[in-house]
Structure 1
């Protein structure tokens, strides 16, 4: 396994699929900038990593324009339909996790592509969609990750989706040619007509017609009224870096809270990989999750006290509550983990950190009509309890796990980082950043080092601390002795998610690291 990062003097692209990284590199070589390349990567991932992301899902973006000298955020998440109410699920304890009745939020990805492209891109939308359209039309080698997830979740696919992803009723083999003609046609329509073709034109018409025929709830009006938002990112200062996240409905503030807590401890005196290191990170994150679960929803429906949650004094109070020898008895709700994170930096100093998702693997499991679009099931995370902070209401955004990160130094991007993994995103982000800032690791070393993920997964009654067994046996014993419910995971376990990072050093060199658990690549020059 390669330890050293890929290093470029001017550019860097990282993503969980090598063809998507290559698509971004191609756009940069054609004269596009980081924003053009990022949209190309995003669109290509929607084709070559269809089990994790696609046109039927959402996306969040952190952008840095060298010309403007500032970080901005774009919230590309969709809202529930106007007609989607709790009484649509009368007599049910929760929203179904799969099927057409789980697809209740408008996909926000296509809107986000045009928003980023229009604001900062140099090329046309059609030009940056070209690589993805080519792979959908002519096919590509099916990835091992898609093969594995087809085995895992194939039974959740509707007949229409199974016809695409299980051709001939069989799981396609890794490395075999995979073609998506319907999706290619939809992407060409989008390239020609822009976002309005998706939200106000033939694509919206086809999706809503399919919804009406199959008992779904999204309508033409829901699509026509969708609009993503440019928003001010939230941030905290951490050891000489300003660390940025997308504000709620993203859970990004959770990672900032954890950093504020960790700042109260001297990590320079704590050995990396020790019991103290892992225990401290887990306990800081538990406290952040506790507060997150009490307040996170659409901020247009409920006020979220970010000023208090990100206050340094509050962080000190939380830090003082941590026992350095015992695990706190705290819990959290399971959330989806299947996403795709990527990042791009160009030679002009522009930078984009972004993440996209269908929520579960293959989302709702339903392809909309003849569009080839696999619809997300993100809205299934809404609660049907009217007293719950994240209760289902019409035209509302749900609690969202997606959270790209960017750390700046002296006002310029220094580290772009993120990961697949739902509940694991703030956990792995904390590992990556502390490893790079406190222990001198390069992006690849930080990604490769053993990881953990704490929390309860779907169908499991316990709050486990899953730790890769590469962690020293003595450390695992100490963690268990402190009260953590330790479960050993594989050496490079997929449950840890797919993490990627780019670091920019004082010479301007760009170092890229991609996760050995996925099919990704770092490309720079």
Structure 2
């Protein structure tokens, strides 16, 4: 039996105390992987995971279970997701032995353009109120993906969330914290306090919360279908609400909304194909980082080493300069994906990294081109289908605007638009999709599914994706260990508006890294900072093709649960 381990690690931001070593696995791991053969679900809230399993046990597909879980998360995790937001997915279809990508992001209102902001000398789209609201793509995404991969009726999928909305559920710990962290900025937005502060305050951990308005909205969608949201009574309610409160989103914008089935893009990292969705999301940045990193002997450097964290951070800086310049709606821009993901370009980028010094500035790629808070879940079923799904309203409680009697908040994704430069790829234009941070991911090996995974948390997501891949492939961690391992997050410019990093940015390190490593990173010129709650939230399902066994993982940074049967 291993002895009790008591480790005190002073990091400058606090003290990490590890009170008990585990019998197996890494010392930082919170628990073992969850193993099952018939089905697996990993979400950021246990009730949502259980809903997904119930759907699988009723004969539902992985997609059915994912939709049911997402609807449930919109109820129990309302500060992060909901039908007022957008949705993306990567789906492995076992019958066709093929990956499908789905972009369910909405567009800017047709009546709002960049001149509105320039004439008022507004440098950014505000976070709150009517101006950042774009068309919600979630509901259309549910129906489009259900039509292609679903089995059970939509009424069956939404019924658990309907019941919980009417009967109530106890608010879990991390979600309670997230709900209370931003409500002061939003409580005066029309409809917000009536929905989320029924007793005059945001519900606390363990308190029962009901949302009968959302339950009624779900029932309308379940019985009348997708068009009830985009062309029916829900669309009319949103339209009149926005007009009443000075907004631009209209019923015409909702009626015109369409989603897209798209081809995922990939790079090969040491024999594994890592898949992301192309822009308007930021998944390409993870692939660019990995393309740079595969030129190093990362395994020999060792997890948590100064050498590894240095090249990881520099790779991030390089990729994010391209992210700021090129990533935008492909309907309005030609994006040089082939060049960005080429081995030749990765080699050029790698050559810019000084192994002994942190860069203050990197240039973005120079290609000739034509001008132009979140929740993640993954589900796998008995037939081998796997869904990697991410859905978001953007920041905590988004715009804060809750249309009359509907029970959900409208996203503020339009805040990501550039409103300073009409020539920028991500400049606001009528009917344009904004740059998106939410990205699902998938790994295949030799043409077979290896792992479905994702990591919530704004701009940390590509950085987190790259770290998960390296943890598993270079450092030999299992799916749970890869998520529990301490992470870095580099921060440069906070806006994807084309502004470049000129001072090297700040390297945030989670508790768990050795102080000698931190000291050596500082010697190289890295500005080190410590913070909590900024490193994302990870869920994953790995598939063992030999034994036909799923391994589920849900990390301790969220309230999540991985479970199977």
TM-score (norm 2): 0.89
Aligned to 2:538: 499
Structural mapping, 1:100-249, within 5 Å: 100-103=130-133, 105-157=134-186, 158-249=189-280
Equivalent residues of 1:208, 1:220 under 8 A apart: yes
Question: Displacement of 1:402 after TM fit?
Answer: 1.1
* In structure 2, distance between residues paired with 1:324 and 1:87: 45
Match of 1:28 among 51, 56, 61: 56
Residue aligning to 2:562: 522
Q: Which residue of 2 aligns with 1:382?
A: 417
CA offsets, 1:404-428, max 9 Å, x none?
A: 0000112121011111111100111
Tell whether 2:429 aligns with 1:393. yes
Whole-Å Cα distance in 2 between the matches of residues 83 and 20 of structure 1?
A: 37
Q: What's the CA shift for 1:388?
A: 2.2
Q: Does the aligned pair in 1 maintain the 2:193–2:200 contact within 8 Å?
A: yes
Q: Report the counterpart of residue 97 of structure 1 in structure 2.
A: 127
1:466 to 2:496 alignment: no
The Cα of 1:3 is off from its aligned counterpart by 2.8
Task: Say which of 441, 448, 451 aligns to 2:487.
Answer: 451
**Structure 1: how far apart are the matches of 2:540 and 2:408?**
29
CA distance in 1, matches of 2:222, 2:124: 38
Structure 2 contact 504–526 (Cα < 8 Å) conserved: no
Q: 1:335 is matched with which residue?
A: none
**Is the 1:467–1:488 contact (alpha carbons within 8 Å) kept by the matching residues of 2?**
yes
Residue in 1 that maps onto 2:391 = 356
Give the distance between the partners of 2:193 and 2:534, measured in 1 at CA: 24
The Cα offsets for residues 460-507 of structure 1, whole Å up to 9 and x where unpaired, read as 998221101211111111112211111123xxx321111111111232
**Alpha-carbon distance in 1 for matches of 2:529, 2:225:** 48
Q: Following superposition of structure 1 onto structure 2, how do residues 284-433 of structure 1 map, counting pairs within 5 Å?
A: 284-330=315-361, 338-385=373-420, 386-433=422-469
Equivalent-residue separation in structure 2 for 1:137 and 1:413 (angstroms): 39
| Cα RMSD (Å) | 1.8
For residues 357-387 of structure 1, the C-alpha deviation after alignment (integer angstroms, 9 at most, x for no partner) is 1111101011112111200000011111213
The DSSP-based 3-state class of the residue aligned with 1:286 is: helix
* SS of alignment partner, residue 79 of structure 1: coil
Contact 1:417–1:501 at 8 Å: present in 2 too? yes
Return 18-27 or 79-88, whichever deviates more. 79-88
Q: Alignment partner of 1:68: what SS?
A: coil
Asked if structure 2 preserves the Cα contact closer than 8 Å seen for 1:154 and 1:166, the reply is no
Contact 1:455 1:465 in 2 (8 A): yes
Q: SS in structure 1 opposite 2:542?
A: strand
Partner SS, residue 63 of structure 2 = helix
Distance (whole Å) between structure 2 residues aligned to residue 251 and residue 512 of structure 1:
25
Larger CA deviation: 459-468 vs 225-234: 459-468
Please, which moves more after superposition, 321-330 or 421-430? 321-330
- Give the secondary structure class of the aligned counterpart of 2:91: strand
Q: How big is each residue's C-alpha offset from its partner over 1:72-107, in whole Å with a ceiling of 9 and x where there is no partner?
A: 11101000111111233321222111112221x100
Instruction: Report the secondary structure of 2:131's partner residue.
Output: helix
Q: Distance in 1 between matches of 2:163 and 2:490?
A: 40
| Distance in 2 between residues matched to 1:28 and 1:331, nearest whole Å | 48
User: Counterpart in 2 of 1:267?
Assistant: 298
Shift of 1:200: 0.7
2:98 aligned with 1:70: yes
Per-residue Cα deviation, 1:179-220 (whole angstroms, up to 9, x for no partner): 001111100000011111110111111001100111000111
Cross-structure match for 2:519: 477
Any residues of structure 2 matched to 1:39-78 within 5 Å, and which?
A: 39-78=67-106
1:18 correspondence with 2:58: no
Partner of 2:25: none
Are the counterparts in 2 of residues 61 and 75 from structure 1 also a CA contact under 8 Å?
Answer: yes
Tell whether the 8 Å contact from 1:133 to 1:187 is kept in structure 2 after alignment: yes
Aligned to 1:281: 312
User: Scaled by the length of structure 1, what TM-score is found?
Assistant: 0.95
**Count of aligned pairs between the two proteins:** 517
Name structure 2 gaps, 5 residues minimum.
1-28, 364-372, 496-500
- In structure 2, what is the Cα distance between the partners aligned to 1:469 and 1:331? 28
Task: Give me the whole-angstrom Cα distance separating, in 1, the residues matched to 2:125 and 2:394.
Answer: 14
Q: Is the 8 A contact 1:290 1:330 kept in 2?
A: no
Asked whether the equivalents of residues 175 and 559 of structure 2 are also in contact (C-alpha less than 8 Å), the reply is no
Cα deviation for residue 324 of structure 1 reads 1.6
Alpha-carbon distance in structure 1 between the residues aligned to 2:467 and 2:486: 9
Match of 2:6 in 1: none
What does the per-residue CA deviation read over 1:34-87, in whole Å, with 9 as the maximum and x for residues that have no partner?
Answer: 111111111111111110000100010000111111101110100011111123
CA shift, 1:150, in A, is 2.9
Task: Report the CA distance between 1:456 and its aligned residue.
Answer: 4.3
**Which secondary structure state, in structure 2, belongs to the residue aligned with residue 131 of structure 1?**
helix
Deviation at 1:263, TM superposition (A): 1.1
Larger proportion of helix: 1
SS in 2 for 1:101: coil
Gaps spanning 5+ residues in structure 1: where?
A: 333-337
Q: Report the alpha carbon displacement of residue 331 of structure 1 after superposing the two structures with TM.
A: 8.0
Tell me the alpha carbon deviations over residues 22-45 of structure 1, each in whole angstroms, 9 at most, x when there is no partner.
Answer: 111010011111111111111111
Find the residue that maps to 2:258 and give its secondary structure. coil
Task: For residue 383 of structure 2, give the secondary structure of its aligned residue in structure 1.
Answer: coil
